[in-house]
Amino acid sequence: MHQASYRVYYEDTDAGGVVYYANYLKFVERARTEYLRDYGVNQQELAEQDNILFVVRKVEADLIKPAKLDDLITIETSVVEQKAATIRMEQNIYLEKTKLCTIKVQLVVINKEFRPVRMPEFLKKIFAA
């Protein structure tokens, strides 16, 4: 499991001062990027040097409670399943110990021609950790 924390800024909220629902997707995207960075993987270099990209194929969000302006949220990312060219992750967003949201995402590993490709061994090891 990987953890990342973010502050909720004014730009993340709606007129009511709560996080606009689509911004939860931005938070979990950032957390997935930090997950890879913590293992020394830069996604731009991965695309340029290894011809590997990740795209979201499916996402499911369960919004339980709202995050608000200035909250410090923590996102826990876990790999649920990995196959040759896909990864399923569950990402839970917390405010302290209160779960605010669960997002399930399926990613596909593709090349620059937008064709699915097998995940390289070094990525398999990272996602298995």
Show which residues are catalytic.
14
Q: Using a CB cutoff of 8 Å and minimum separation of 24, what contacts does 94-100 make?
A: 95/65, 95/67, 95/71, 98/65, 99/64, 99/65, 100/63, 100/64, 100/65, 100/66, 100/67, 100/73
